Amino acid sequence: MALLEVEDLRVAFGASTAVDGVSFSVDEGKVVGLVGESGCGKSVTSLAIMGLLPKGRGRRTREPVQAAAAEPVDSGLKVAASAPQAVAASGGRGRRGGADVQGRAAFDGTDLLSLSPAAMRRRRGKDLAMVFQDPLSSLNPVVPIGRQITEVLERHRGLKGDKASKEAASLLDRVGIPDPLRRLKEYPHQLSGGMRQRVLIAIAVACAPRLLIADEPTTALDVTIQAQILELLKDLVETEGTALLMITHDLGVVAGICDEVNVLYSGRVVESAPVRELFRKPTHPYTVGLLGSIPRLDLPIHEPLTPIRGSIADVIRWRDGCAFAPRCDKVAAPCVDGEPALVGAVHAHRCVMAEEVA
Amino acid sequence: MSPEQTEPHVPAQRTEEPDLSGAATTPAASPLLEVEDLKVHFPIRRGIVVERTVGHVQAVDGVGLSIDAGGTYGLVGESGCGKTTFGRAVLRLEEPTAGRVRLGGDEVTALKGERLRRFRSKMQMVFQDPLGSLNPRHNVDMLLSEPLKVHGVGSKAERRKLAVETLDAVGLPKSVLERFPHEFSGGQRQRLGIARALMLRPDLIVCDEPVSALDVSIQAQVMNLLDELQDEFGLTYLVIAHDLAVVRHLSDRVGVMYLGKLVEEADSETIYENPRHPYTKALLSAVPQPDPEVEATRERIILKGDLPSPANPPSGCRFRTRCPWAEDICAEVEPEWREAASGHKVACHFDL
Ligand SMILES: Nc1ncnc2c1ncn2[C@@H]1O[C@H](COP(=O)(O)OP(=O)(O)OP(=O)(O)O)[C@@H](O)[C@H]1O
Ligand SMILES: Nc1ncnc2c1ncn2[C@@H]1O[C@H](COP(=O)(O)OP(=O)(O)O)[C@@H](O)[C@H]1O
Ligand code: SF4
Ligand code: SF4
Ligand SMILES: [Mg+2]
Ligand SMILES: [Mg+2]
């Protein structure tokens, strides 16, 4: 049994569906990727699994950083408080109204989606943890980073005082931050973007979670720093057997770190395969289009790019046909005749025109 | 109104010089932009009652380069190395601390007042964040006409005609004229940003991270568009980006910047195939390739640490604190900017 099994996950905000029946699983010691363009539902999927989506109607969907800072220092809460910002930043634009979440996300057999908020809070940070794209808004700006780490250690591992500080320093050391004792006393703004991301990873791995969700963890970083962070994540997976759900739009990152890949389009998985399979035999026209859109250092210079036409705004509803049809070069009559199904097991695709694969 | 004010500037470089040598297949290009030893230092001020300058951020610290008419020069480097500041100083959007900028032989750095304002129409900028660079309360018609109005170009009808032509060139229909920036997708906004830069038919466009805010499939559309427009309008580009694959794709010459200085410069092909500077090697080795087979065997040079502060750069070679090949001399002597091979410049003490 996989450590995380997501089955038919659906998330709607009012009348709009953000995630539309997504299923995948993540094994211990494996890296599974969720890939796709902005707005396809990557972040909403991960926030749903973490129980960080605003629930019910009329609740606040956004909490300013200041409000979180005024609360007693609690990194667990801080993560919870900052998540809606991540939602807002990811395209929600602070719209009010909660998310309607359906389906299953079984973690080691327990459905996370049916846990109470309190039970979920106890697991967050301990069993499963998350790293966000924007490290600055995920850290509390007025609390030294040392305290933000020791808080988690105290909360989930019962470490206090000197012991906690020592452990915090060793965590910083482990994520490659030089001079950790000095850095512990510093505030987030005193660190570079790469260092902040490493601090977040240090916090995320402080309690040796069995599942780590990383939402575009290197998108805001330079390539040399990205390389450091990716090495760090790979090392975690290899040495600790952590399961990693890697969310990214970068196919290079996917090729470098993932074992399995799910390509998302408009809230649905359109292709899923083991990583080598996917790159060797991309089958869905969207995947093919993505690969044709990126300039590559390993191909002859000035090789023409073959972009996908239009934009993600050009969609039709899945129930009317293939949502990708308005942008697809292979579109034909069957494509707009009802829902295309995901076919295949190991290498699956959702395209009525593609030939059967694996 | 003088004639050059009544119509947009037509770059002289559009008609190519006949090739007299007979040997080369392309005519010997003359530089459109020449930059010499450009410096931009920002004062760091402290003090509440009396502000005093306690130091300088050496954002750009002696960068020289030239771009052939019709060519594309790609400037790469990590965040904070001074790329944007360099681009802005070239356009005189930032006052250079020292150095010279010439465009088509005219000294931009010496221009003042009205002459500078008029000269600006020859050089435009395309920004990373298309939304932030467009006034949200102006519709597309106003956004596109504004640069012409500022430069007193054409009548209202003429401006509109030019706007429609330019929209067509960037692949947007005439019907968008009445719409507002927030009604467009990221890719469409970037097309608008490019259209706006094109309205004065400039010679040089500085593209600062033109695709980094866009989705992968849209990035490719915009890169192809930049290519097409270059031919159509005879443009010269300075492309600033942190994505090495994007820069390689767009540029014919590439300069790598580190902490306010160029560390290497060569033809696009050469620099990617045969990087000589340790920093360039590390940068290239850090780019993940969209191919698992390549990724499994790719050799990486993982650099330690971060970019040092440009307010207090390391002595000698600025890269020495992260350079895997650094030796004692690197802390003491600044490496000179030398031609290691024909057309291939590098600032390193060693031939690596
Ligand atoms: N107006 C300013 N006042 C003071 N310092 C500045 C100013 N503008 C830029 N700097 C500093 O100058 C250096 C170079 O900045 P610049 O924006 O040119 O970098 P960049 O290479 O474009 O980075 P990025 O890739 O992040 O856009 C940085 O250290 C920056 O903080
Ligand atoms: N809080 C919210 N309220 C309403 N819609 C939202 C909210 N958060 C996200 N969405 C919408 O859900 C869709 C998926 O968003 P997201 O998962 O953030 O995309 P991405 O794949 O870029 O991470 C988008 O259309 C987005 O606008
Ligand atoms: S189902 Fe049709 S429209 Fe959709 S991806 Fe396949 S060929 Fe294209
Ligand atoms: S001069 Fe020295 S420190 Fe600088 S790049 Fe060359 S070897 Fe490295
Ligand atoms: Mg997202
Ligand atoms: Mg910049």
Q: Kindly determine whether residue A255 and residue B219, on different chains, have CB atoms separated by under 8 Å.
A: no
Which H helix or E strand runs over A17? strand A16-26
Q: Kindly determine whether residue B286 and residue A293, on different chains, have CB atoms separated by under 8 Å.
A: no
Q: Is the CB of B346 under 6 A from ligand 4?
A: no
Q: How confident is the model at residue B29 (pLDDT cuts 50, 70, 90)?
A: low
Q: Is the CB of B349 under 6 A from ligand 4?
A: yes
Q: How many domains does chain B have?
A: 1
Whether B93 shows a pLDDT value over 70: the answer reads yes
Q: Kindly state the average pLDDT of the residues B12-39.
A: 63
CA–CA dist A223, B343 (Å, integer): 26
Output phi, psi for B313, to 5 deg.
-70, 150
Q: Kindly determine whether residue A279 and residue B224, on different chains, have CB atoms separated by under 8 Å.
A: no
CATH of the domain at B14: 3.40.50.300
Q: Coil, helix or strand for A25?
A: strand
> Is-contact A115 A45, C-beta < 8 A?
no
Q: Kindly state the average pLDDT of the residues B245-250.
A: 96
pLDDT for position A149? 95
Q: Kindly state the average pLDDT of the residues A275-281.
A: 97
The answer to which of A10-19, A74-83, B35-44, B200-209 has the lowest mean pLDDT is: A74-83
Q: How confident is the model at residue B336 (pLDDT cuts 50, 70, 90)?
A: very high
Output phi, psi for A248, to 5 deg.
-160, 160
CATH of the domain at A92: 3.40.50.300
For residue A191, being part of any structural domain is answered with yes
pLDDT for position B53? 83
- Taking only residues 161 to 220 of chain A, the set having a beta carbon closer than 8 angstroms to any beta carbon of chain B reads 178, 192-195
A12-39: per-residue pLDDT in tens? 999 889 999 999 999 999 999 999 988 8
Alpha helices (runs of H) in B170-307, residue ranges in sequence order? 186-198, 216-233, 244-250, 268-273, 278-286, 292-297
B303-328: per-residue pLDDT in tens? 887 788 888 999 999 999 999 999 99
Percent of chain A with pLDDT over 70: 87
Pairing of strands B72-76, B236-240: parallel
Q: How many domains does chain A have?
A: 1
Q: How confident is the model at residue B212 (pLDDT cuts 50, 70, 90)?
A: confident
Segments forming the whole domain that contains residue A239: 4-142+187-278
For residue A197, being part of any structural domain is answered with yes
Of A37, A252, A301, the CB nearest to B217: A37
Residue ranges near ligand 5 (ion) with Cβ within 5 Å: A 43, 90
Q: Return the residue in B192, B215, B294, B309 with the most chain A beta carbons within 10 A, the one to mutate for interface testing.
A: B215
Interface ipTM > 0.95: no
Segments forming the whole domain that contains residue B114: 3-346
Q: Kindly state the average pLDDT of the residues B216-230.
A: 94
A216-269: per-residue pLDDT in tens? 998 878 888 888 889 989 999 999 999 999 999 999 999 999 999 999 999 999
For residue A338, being part of any structural domain is answered with no
For residue A263, being part of any structural domain is answered with yes
Q: What is the pTM of this model?
A: 0.85
Is the pLDDT higher at A177 or at A292? A292
Residue B301 Cα to ligand 4 middle (Å) = 14
Q: Is the CB of B79 under 6 A from ligand 1?
A: yes
pLDDT for position A70? 27
Whether B7 shows a pLDDT value over 60: the answer reads no
For residue B351, being part of any structural domain is answered with no
pLDDT for position A60? 37
| Structure token digits, residue B121 | 């129409």
Q: Kindly state the average pLDDT of the residues A191-196.
A: 84
Whether A58 shows a pLDDT value over 60: the answer reads no
The answer to which of A103-107, B278-282, B306-310 has the lowest mean pLDDT is: B306-310
For residue A121, being part of any structural domain is answered with yes
pLDDT for position A295? 93
Whether B34 shows a pLDDT value over 90: the answer reads yes
CA–CA dist B29, B50 (Å, integer): 52
pLDDT for position B345? 98
For the CA of B85, the nearest atom of ligand 1: 18
For residue A12, being part of any structural domain is answered with yes
For residue B52, being part of any structural domain is answered with yes
The neighbouring-strand residues paired with A12 are A17, A100
pLDDT for position A88? 38
Q: B142 vs A130, B126, B278, CA distance in Å?
A: 45, 17, 48
For residue B312, being part of any structural domain is answered with yes
In our burial notation (b when 16+ CB lie closer than 10 A, e otherwise), range B118-152 reads: bbbbbbbbbbbebbebbeeeeebbebbbebbeebe
Residues 6+ apart with CB under 8 A from B50: none
CA–CA dist A269, A22 (Å, integer): 6
Place of tokens 């390549």: B294
Q: How confident is the model at residue B213 (pLDDT cuts 50, 70, 90)?
A: confident
pLDDT for position B307? 83
Which H helix or E strand runs over A138? helix A135-138
Q: Kindly state the average pLDDT of the residues A336-343.
A: 94
CA–CA dist B142, B136 (Å, integer): 11
The answer to which of A209-213, B53-57, B173-177 has the lowest mean pLDDT is: B53-57
Of A231, A297, A303, the CB nearest to B272: A297
Could you tell me if A119 lies within 8 Å of chain B, comparing CB atoms?
no
For residue A262, being part of any structural domain is answered with yes
pLDDT for position B282? 95
Whether B77 shows a pLDDT value over 90: the answer reads yes
Whether A320 shows a pLDDT value over 50: the answer reads yes
Is the pLDDT higher at B80 or at A108? A108
Residue A221 Cα to ligand 4 middle (Å) = 24
For residue A147, being part of any structural domain is answered with no
pLDDT for position A96? 55
CA–CA dist B148, B163 (Å, integer): 10
B146-156: per-residue pLDDT in tens? 989 888 888 99
CA–CA dist B327, B273 (Å, integer): 25
